[in-house]
Amino acid sequence: MVKSLSLDKNGIRKGAWSEEEDDKLRAYIHRYGHWNWGLLPKFAGLSRSGKSCRLRWMNYLRPNIKHGNFTTEEDNLIVELRKKLGNKWAAIAAKLPGRSDNEIKNRWNTHLKKRAHDEDIVLELEHLGSMEPDQANLKENKDLECEKDRAMINLASESLSSSSSSCWLGLGGAVFGDVPSQTSSYQLADDFWTESFLEDITSSVDSMPSPYLVDNLISGSSCQDMTVVDEFSWSMLDSCSEHNSEFFNC
DNA sequence: AATTGAAACAACCGCATGGCG
DNA sequence: GCGCCATGCGGTTGTTTCAAT
């Protein structure tokens, strides 16, 4: 279910990410943070665009990201939030810890859109079925009832909202702890990266060029340019040691 | 067993936004 | 105020998988 690999004219890889690329990106961000997506690929030894790296990190490699089946509670919440917020996938994702906007968008487009549409039709038909026959033929009445329908649907979704939110908070409390109000900024716990992972990546990270040691990776850049980059990198790394979690905000 | 169409989803692309000089 | 650049967001595409025929 992945795009086949290809290279563009600049030698930038496109398509599916290999496990090796994932490891490089994960290891690099773990060590240095994503201080600049544009430069990160070169420092991390990846032939990818910064955009591609960012997307891969945000949607797949980011800590705490969940993969696999959506729960009924999650589905309900997505449907409900979409009614309220529209296609604001990032805003919706902020309410579902561990799910990326891309994943939610895909979930909506492949599963929930049709379901939500079907549910609206059922509501509409149920309502029409309860109407007097001659009433149903009167346009003005129909228009009025359509308005009532919308109100009923909204009311139903509000009701669903309060109940499913409770379910979700219960689930969130059990699995994630308190559901953060701003899940776009993740706090990195000390044990975020498992010990086994740290062992796995140690060798690759140590052989990886750090942003302040490499001076020939930015093609065409002058020595002056690199001085700027070096100073920037040092300051960022200093900040990193002081405020480690900020480097993993998503 | 082969074919085909739909479903699923990772990834790409273009535009919008915000920060900075 | 303006232009540039990095980042974020949402729409779309491309590929694989799987079920139906």
Domain boundaries for CATH 1.10.10.60 within chain A: 72-175
Alpha carbon distance, N-terminus to C-terminus of chain A: 25
Q: Residue A185: pLDDT band by 50, 70, 90 thresholds?
A: very low
Nucleotide nearest to A3 (CA to C1'): C15
Nearest to A152 by CA among A124, A121, A115: A124
Q: How far apart are CA A46 and CA A42, in angstroms?
A: 6
> How distant is C1' of B12 from CA of A136, in Å?
49
Q: How far apart are CA A31 and CA A206, in angstroms?
A: 10
SS3 of chain A: CCCCCEECCCCCEECCCCHHHHHHHHHHHHHHCCCCCCCHHHHHCCCCCHHHHHHHHHHHHCCCCCCCCCCHHHHHHHHHHHHHHCCCHHHHHCCCCCCCHHHHHHHHHHHHHHHHHHHHHHHHHHHHHCCCHHHHCCHHHHHHHHHHHHHHHHHHHHHHHHHHHHHHHHHHHHHCCCCCCCCCCCCCCCCCCCHHHHHHHHHHHHCCCCCCCCCCCCCCCCHHHHHHHHHHHHHHHHHHHHCHHHHHCC
Nucleotide nearest to A103 (CA to C1'): B9
Q: What is the pLDDT of residues A205-242, one digit of tens each?
A: 556 666 554 444 433 333 333 333 333 444 444 444 33
How high is the pLDDT of residue A204? Answer: 54
Q: What is the pLDDT of residues A24-62, one digit of tens each?
A: 998 898 888 888 898 898 888 888 888 899 989 988 888
Of the options 3.30.70.100, 1.10.10.60, 2.30.42.10, 3.30.70.370, the CATH number for the domain spanning A72-175: 1.10.10.60
Q: What is the pLDDT of residues A153-170, one digit of tens each?
A: 443 333 333 333 333 332
Nucleotide nearest to A106 (CA to C1'): B9
Residue at shortest CA–C1' distance from C16? A1
Could you say which nucleotides of strand C lie within 7 A of any protein CB atom?
Answer: 5-12, 14-17
Q: What is the pLDDT of residues A120-153, one digit of tens each?
A: 667 777 777 766 544 444 444 444 444 444 444 4
How high is the pLDDT of residue A227? Answer: 32
> How distant is C1' of B21 from CA of A248, in Å?
27
Mean pLDDT of A2-16: 71
How high is the pLDDT of residue A231? Answer: 39
How high is the pLDDT of residue A182? Answer: 33
> How distant is C1' of C21 from CA of A28, in Å?
49
The larger pLDDT score, comparing residue A16 to residue A149, is at A16
The larger pLDDT score, comparing residue A182 to residue A15, is at A15
- List the single range of A50-54, A98-102, A115-119, A219-223 with lowest mean pLDDT: A219-223
